[in-house]
Amino acid sequence: MPRRPTREVEREFLLAFWKLHILHHAGEEPVVGQWIMRELRRHGYEVSPGTLYPLLARMEGRGWLRSKVDPNGGPRARKEYTLTGAGRSVLALLRGKVEELYREVVLGDQAAPPATRRSSMEGRDERERRRSRGLDLLHGGADRRRRRVVPGRGARARKIGT
Q: What is the pLDDT of residue 71?
A: 85
pLDDT in tens, 95-153: 999 999 999 999 988 765 544 544 445 555 655 555 554 444 444 444 443 344 444 44
Number of alpha carbons in the 13 Å side-chain half-sphere of residue 45: 24
Q: What's the rounded Cα separation, in Å, for the pair 17 and 20?
A: 5
Q: Which of 7-16, 33-42, 71-80 has the highest mean pLDDT?
A: 33-42
Bridging pattern class, strands 79-83 and 147-149: unpaired
Is residue 89 a contact partner of residue 62, using CB atoms and an 8 Å limit?
no
Q: What is the pLDDT of residue 93?
A: 95
Mean pLDDT of the 20-45 span = 94
> The whole model's pTM is what?
0.63
More confident residue, 54 or 156: 54
Indicate the domain borders of the chain. Answer: 7-85, 111-149
pLDDT in tens, 35-72: 999 999 999 888 899 999 999 999 999 999 999 998 88
Q: What's the rounded Cα separation, in Å, for the pair 15 and 23?
A: 12
**What CATH code is assigned to 7-85?**
1.10.10.10
Q: Binning pLDDT at 50, 70 and 90, where does residue 21 land?
A: very high
Asked if residue 76 has pLDDT above 50, the reply is yes
